Amino acid sequence: MPSPQCHSVGSSFARNSVYSQKITTAAGLVHYSYSRAVGGGSGESFSSEGEGRITAVRVWEISSSYITGCTEVPPVLTGVPSVTDSYCLISGKYHTDYIHMLIFVTSQGRTLNVGQPVQSSFNFYPVHPDAELRLLSGRYNGNGITSLGAYWGVVFMEQSNGTSVGK
């Protein structure tokens, strides 16, 4: 089997969001939503962890095949000059076995397009216009990502991130 290739980009319209919540905190009203996972879903579950803005992602793929993993990159490693850039859309393609394509789009229009355009399409984006990508979750079977979902929410500027999504 060929080695996975790594792709990365610094800092994401059919609605898949099925969960939406408003929480009032000392900082004011905070909006959260969840884009339901797509894909077959075999294997072990994974999720990213941490707080704050996701400033960059790195994605691995088997060339001309499927997505094998993805990692959130710590802000200190991205060299991203703009703290206002955030992920606002994730699109892709999946089949019953694996996620085959991922497209991350940022609020400033930057994109990361990885994988092959085969089978069914999906689009993840927040329900609330002030929210951004907060967390990725899904399932991984040892060879690749078999399902993927996204959590969206408001990020306060003093928060930071830099955690891994299971690979």
Residues 112-127: pLDDT tens digits? 999 999 999 999 999 9
Residue 91 lies in a domain: yes
Task: Give dist(CA 16, CA 124) in Å, integer.
Answer: 6
Residue-wise pLDDT tens digits, 72-99 = 876 554 545 456 788 899 999 999 899 9
- Nearest-CA neighbor of 116 among 65, 68, 70? 65
Q: How far apart are the first and last CA of the chain?
A: 17
The DSSP H or E segment spanning 75 is: helix 75-78
Give the global pTM: 0.76
Domain with 64 in it: what CATH number? 2.100.10.30
Range of the domain at 73: 5-153
Residue 163 lies in a domain: no
User: 96: burial class by Cβ within 10 Å (0-12, 13-18, 19+)?
Assistant: exposed
Task: Report the number of distinct structural domains present in the chain.
Answer: 1
Residue 118 lies in a domain: yes
> 34: which strand partners?
19, 151
